[in-house]
Amino acid sequence: MTKALEGIKIIDFTHVQAGPACTQLLAWYGADVIKVERPGSGDVTRNQLRDIPDADALYFTMLNSNKRSLTLDTKKPEGKEVLEKLIKVSDVMVENFGPGALDRMGFSWKRILELNPKMILASVKGFSDGHHYDDLKVYENVAQCAGGAASTTGFWDGPPVISAAALGDSNTGMHLAIGILTALRQRDKTGAGQKVAVSMQDSVLNLCRVKLRDQQRLDRVGYLEEYPQYPHGSFSDVVPRGGNAGGGGQPGWILKCKGWQTDPNAYIYFTIQGHAWEPICDAIGKPEWKTDPAYTTARARQPHIVEIFGTIEAWLADKTKFEAVDILRKHDIPCAPVLSMKELADDPSLRESGTITEVEHKVRGKYLTVGSPIKFSDMKVEITGSPLLGEHTEEVLAELGYSRDGIQQLHAANAV
């Protein structure tokens, strides 16, 4: 079966998470992704948080599947020559080095265009070009703070909190992938390459747009009625942290279930969707709330929201999170168990759909990874193991026309 991106050659000059997440996605869908790595060490994540002494860390293997690895010292003339040849025959180059690193290496956008006017250069930086912080190096949590996620996550009486979801890294990589596919589509029409730039701050902010919505509502009316602070608490002039509140038009909260005293994940998320109010009253044994004017509308319920969630929690006390969801689903109530990573890893539905998949690695053996979250009706996505450092160096050099002697000379240059 053909893959959608077959025939697209990508120079993957990325490291850590933001860039590799992008190129991995494109590799899954058929692009030939050649990861260019520094000889001897490679991507820093090969060594970070190792669980097996001499095997690439899961941090690396889970972000670099379906790629080839080429080792090149791109600061040496021999390495630069290979990279130039590669640029001439590739469609896309993706990089997420610190600000200015590519220029310092001699591969400015101007130079890349001279080598290949059809090239798409895709870059991740912490802040966008021209931003007053555009000289900063940035990691995940820095981006979450700069993009509005940290100030709006957590509880109102505690400090800003970082999300475990990679909003700064993988999220930025997904934005970049969309940018690359868009530029490829435009190149189909114009024949010209272009530079695609995504900043981590912008990508986080894009996911926090509902909080910018709330800031403007707060500026206008002085309160936010879906936040736990309303109506009993107080608001300042900035969007507060709302704990586990719904954040949209539907109030919600994380509620304790049977076993919460010992199991840190014995909880469900419960949403009170307006039209599901009557089924909720039936489900939790409070039929009188269906006709009591103090509860019949969302506005009437808001002053009692803590009491309502308390009542639902009392109903949940003798039910596991799975039993509770099985009852609530019959009433069409939007809810879900809080699932641990262990439960997700073992989830038969996720295994069946390929979202959690087992992959073979030449050194470490089998490991679990997250497969494609995007499903296609006409393309089967196969996840393969990540490459060893330099595993495809000779193969790629031969494709670029290097002779056996030329390859040996490069090996010698890499080793110095």
Q: Does 23 bind ligand CAO (CB under 6 A)?
A: no
Calpha distance 328→252 (Å, rounded): 14
Exactly one of 40, 52, 88, 101 binds ligand CAO (CB under 6 A); that residue is: 101
Interface residue with ligand CAO, options 169, 202, 226, 313 (CB under 6 A)? 169
18 forms part of the interface with ligand CAO (CB under 6 A): yes
Q: Does 375 bind ligand CAO (CB under 6 A)?
A: no
Exactly one of 48, 51, 117, 137 binds ligand CAO (CB under 6 A); that residue is 137
How would DSSP label each residue in 33-81?
Answer: EEEEE-TTT-SGGGTTT-SSTTS--HHHHTT-TT-EEEE--TTSHHHHH
Chain position whose Cβ is nearest to ligand CAO? 98
330 lies in the site for ligand CAO, by CB under 6 A: no
- From residue 262, alpha-carbon distances to 244, 256, 259, 316 in Å are 21, 11, 6, 16
Type of residue at 220: R
Q: Does 126 help bind ligand CAO (rule: CB under 6 A)? A: yes
**Residues 4, 50, 81, 105: which binds ligand CAO (CB under 6 A)?**
105
By CB under 6 A, is residue 104 in contact with ligand CAO?
A: yes
- Contact between 73 and ligand CAO (CB under 6 A)? yes
Check: CB of residue 80 under 8 Å from CB of residue 36: no
Contacting range for ligand CAO; rule: CB under 6 A; set: 10-18, 179-187, 262-270, 317-325: 10-18
**CA-based nearest residue to 67, from 118, 18, 22:** 22
Q: Using CB under 6 A, which of the segments 90-98, 109-117, 176-184, 378-386 binds ligand CAO? A: 90-98
List the Cα angle 227/162/220 in 5-degree steps: 35
Give yes or no for residue 72 binding ligand CAO (CB under 6 A). Answer: yes
Q: Which stretch binds ligand CAO (CB under 6 A): 14-22, 183-191, 303-311, 322-330?
A: 14-22
Let me know if 282 is a catalytic residue: no
140: nearest Cα among 160, 164, 159: 164
Q: Read off φ and ψ for residue 36, nearest 5 degrees.
A: -95, 120
Select from 27-35, 99-107, 222-230, 264-272 the region that touches ligand CAO (CB under 6 A).
99-107
CA distances from 2 to 30, 156, 317, 383 (A): 8, 51, 52, 15
140 or 214, CB closer to ligand CAO?
Answer: 140
Q: Cα 358 from chain centroid?
A: 20
Report the distance separating Cα 199 and Cα 206, nearest Å: 11
CA–CA dist 136, 83 (Å, integer): 26
What region, left, alpha or beta, does residue 106 occupy, with left being phi > 0 and alpha being psi -120 to 50 degrees? left
Of the residues 24, 65, 96, 229, which one makes contact with ligand CAO according to CB under 6 A: 96
**Between 1 and 49, CB nearer to ligand CAO:** 49
Q: Which is nearer to ligand CAO, 40 or 365 (CB)?
A: 40
Min CB(408)–ligand CAO separation in Å: 19
Q: What is the DSSP string of 245-274?
A: ---SSS-EEEEE-TTTTT-TT-EEEEE--G
For the chain, the residue count is: 416
Q: How many residues bind ligand CAO (CB under 6 A)?
A: 25
Q: Which of 124, 149, 266, 389 binds ligand CAO (CB under 6 A)?
A: 124
Task: Kindly indicate which of the ranges 100-108, 322-330, 363-371, 394-402 contains the residues binding ligand CAO, using the contact rule CB under 6 A.
Answer: 100-108
165: number of Cβ within 10 Å: 13
Q: Of the residues 169, 202, 219, 346, which is catalytic?
A: 169
Type of residue at 111: R
Q: Catalytic site residues?
A: 169
Binding site for ligand CAO (CB under 6 A): 16-19, 36-38, 72-75, 96-98, 101, 104-105, 124-126, 137-140, 169
